[in-house]
Structures are given as C-alpha cells and as structure tokens.
C-alpha cells in the first residue's frame, strides 16, 4: 500500500489536541482472570457507552459526491471530523468541503476508490461487521475505571480507519477515544509487513488487545512515559504503574494480553523473574541513565538484549509491575489514584516495596 499524500506518514500532532497514541496489539480470547486478586463488583457502576463507526460512515460515502458526503459527516462528527481529516490523515481540507479541493479530489477520492485502500475498507468491514464484543469489553473497562476514578467523565468512542498509518488507540481532546480498527486485523494480515509493522508486534494486532490499547492510551493521556535522564529502575516503575492500572481496569483480560506478551513469553518471565532482576543488578543497570544501554528493556522488541530468545523485549515492564504490586501489598491504604499521582523516587519506592523476586 502507498499513501498518495506523504504528509500523512510524518504527522506532527498538536499535543494539546492529541495527548496520547499508541499502535495497537492483541492475542487470545478474553477470559475472567485477576491474577489471584478479587476484582471489585462494578455491576452497579453506571456507564453509558457512546460509540460511533466513522469507518462505516466513510465507506458509505458516494464517490461521485465526496464533498457532500463529508458535509453530512461534519454534522455527525463535529468534534472529530476536521481532526481526523486534517491532522490524522493530513488531507488539508480545513473544513472546505468542495470537490475541487486537492485533499478531496486527490486524497479522499484515492482512499475511497484505489483498489488497495478499498480492499482495506472491505477487510475491516469483514472483520468488524459490528463491534458488540469490543463494546462489551470497553463498557466493562469504563465501569472499573469509574469505580476507581468516580469523578472522571466518560469518553465517546470513535471507531475509525487510518489506512494503516498506525493509529491503534489514542485520546483526542478530553472527550474522545479513537480506535483504528485497521490495526487489529490479526498478525496474518499481509499488509502489516508491507507498511513496516514489526513481527514482534504480532501479539498486539488482534481484536482482544483493543481494550488494552484503549486504556493504555487513556492512562498516557495523564502520565506520558518519560525517559529523559531517568534510570532503568525509574522507567520500570513508570511502566509498572501503567501495567498495574491496566490490570485494575481490565481484570477480565488475561495477563499476557495486558502486557502485550505471548503466552510463552509470560511463562518465561514468571519462571525467570529472579534471573531477570539479578541480570539488571549484575550489569549495574538499575540506576543506569544511558538510554542506549537500558531503553531496550522498557520498549517493545523481538527479545530482551542479553537474555533468552524466549524473552519479550519489554521485559522491564514485567519486573516493574511486580515491584509496584509488592509496593501496594506493603501499603494497604494506598489507593490506585494516589499511587498514580505519587512522584517516583525510585530508590525509596524499591526499598518500601520490599520486592523479592521469586
């Protein structure tokens, strides 16, 4: 696939409008699970899921009257369509819905008529004739989120397609959660490799990962990952707090999906937890601030440098999560909102966690 407008490939996004984005990624079937901890009963937490299918509405546009179709969509998506067309897709329409505008005449027309792009629309429609299952997962996740953060407002969900531009899940403004269904078509979808999606992201390209991608995006809306001058331990605790939040709002999602691992990678981590932690100590990595040396342990990759090929690249998240869980066990009065707001003093945090890897 190719993009007729190269600016779409290199977006510079206004941080005030788009606070977090991430490429999506899933793996198995969702089951009830809570890693031995009982999840709270949220059946009485009222959440109204407001969702829209922009992907279907875009597909339904009459290609002989594209500008008129976009005008109709502007009425339905007044809070999102300009952002989608101009910032995400880089079409430069700027609300000028006229068939002579280049972004419509060349950009949107190509997206709606080129056989590869049209094929992607058809593929998404085939994989997602409806979003009932995903809606249920998100609804439940919003209930847990509201249980822990009762004063937060619910977000509108917009399902969309960005023609493989890696918009999996992201937040827009303070009201919308965008989900790019084209990034959840399964690891075997052939065009992922063509557009440069690495093979080790295969666990994140399944439908079951959508709620994880969604709530990670919401988390990063308020707590973006900070690597500047940070030690590996600090970064692992950051990742651990995020993973702990995801665990709390999605207790029904299997742990390996929440971590974006394969089942085998999670098993390897659980069997080698002490070895991983001792590796970091032996290499003097815990308080290392050189990103070149340690960032690979808190970012996705094919495997962790210096460890078994069975390991996940982001192995530091596993250790960070267990440090955070150990910390919470030592502080039973610490609530989730207080934990997330707590500034990280990594050495003190580790000491107070009394973390002892198994």
Low-confidence ranges of the chain (pLDDT < 70): 1-36
Three-state secondary structure call for residue 179 = strand
Token pair 């052939």 in the structure block, residue: 190
**Among the listed residues 137, 124, 128, the one whose alpha carbon sits nearest the alpha carbon of residue 257:** 137
Three-state secondary structure call for residue 158 = strand
pTM, full prediction: 0.89
pLDDT value at position 4?
A: 29
CB atoms within 10 A of CB 248: 20
Output the CA angle 190-196-201, nearest 5 degrees.
80
* Residue 232, token pair as written in the block: 């590996």
Strand partners, 263: none
pLDDT value at position 25?
A: 34
pLDDT value at position 153?
A: 87
* Calpha distance 291→69 (Å, rounded): 48
**Among the listed residues 276, 187, 207, the one whose alpha carbon sits nearest the alpha carbon of residue 29:** 207
Three-state secondary structure call for residue 121 = helix
DSSP designation for 205:
S
pLDDT value at position 7?
A: 29
* Calpha distance 30→81 (Å, rounded): 32
CA atoms within 13 A on the CB side of 79: 13
Backbone angles phi, psi at 205, to 5 degrees: -105, 10
């Amino acid at each position: 696939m190719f993009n007729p407008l190269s600016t779409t490939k290199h977006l510079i996004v206004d941080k005030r409008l788009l606070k977090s984005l991430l490429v999506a990624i899933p793996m198995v079937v969702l089951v009830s699970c809570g890693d031995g901890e009982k999840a709270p009963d949220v059946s009485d937490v009222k959440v109204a899921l407001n969702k829209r299918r922009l992907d279907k509405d875009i597909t339904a546009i009459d290609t002989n009257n594209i500008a008129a179709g976009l005008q109709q969509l502007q009425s339905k998506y007044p809070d999102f369509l300009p952002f989608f067309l101009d910032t995400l897709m880089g079409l430069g329409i700027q609300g000028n819905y006229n068939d002579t505008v280049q972004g419509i005449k060349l950009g949107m027309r190509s997206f709606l008529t080129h056989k590869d792009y049209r094929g992607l629309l058809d593929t998404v429609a085939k994989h997602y004739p409806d979003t009932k299952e995903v809606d249920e997962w998100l609804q439940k996740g919003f209930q847990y989120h509201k249980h822990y953060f009762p004063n937060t407002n619910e977000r509108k969900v917009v399902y969309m397609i960005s023609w493989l531009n890696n918009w999996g899940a992201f937040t827009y403004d303070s009201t919308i959660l965008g989900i790019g269904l084209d990034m959840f078509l399964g690891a075997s979808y052939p065009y992922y490799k063509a557009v440069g999606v690495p093979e080790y992201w295969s666990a994140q390209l399944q439908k079951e990962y959508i709620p994880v991608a969604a709530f990670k995006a919401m988390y990063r809306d308020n707590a973006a990952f900070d690597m500047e001058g940070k030690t590996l331990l600090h970064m692992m605790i950051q990742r651990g707090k995020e993973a702990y939040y995801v665990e709390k709002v999605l207790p029904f999602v299997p742990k390996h999906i929440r971590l974006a691992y394969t089942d085998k990678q999670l098993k390897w981590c659980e069997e080698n937890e002490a070895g991983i932690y001792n590796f970091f100590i032996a290499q003097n990595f815990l308080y290392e601030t050189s990103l070149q040396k340690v960032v690979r342990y808190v970012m996705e990759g094919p495997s962790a440098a210096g460890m078994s090929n069975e390991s996940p690249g982001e192995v530091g998240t596993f250790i960070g999560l267990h440090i955070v869980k150990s910390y919470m066990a030592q502080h039973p009065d610490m609530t989730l909102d207080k934990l997330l707001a707590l500034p990280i003093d990594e050495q003190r945090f580790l000491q107070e966690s009394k973390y002892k890897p198994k």
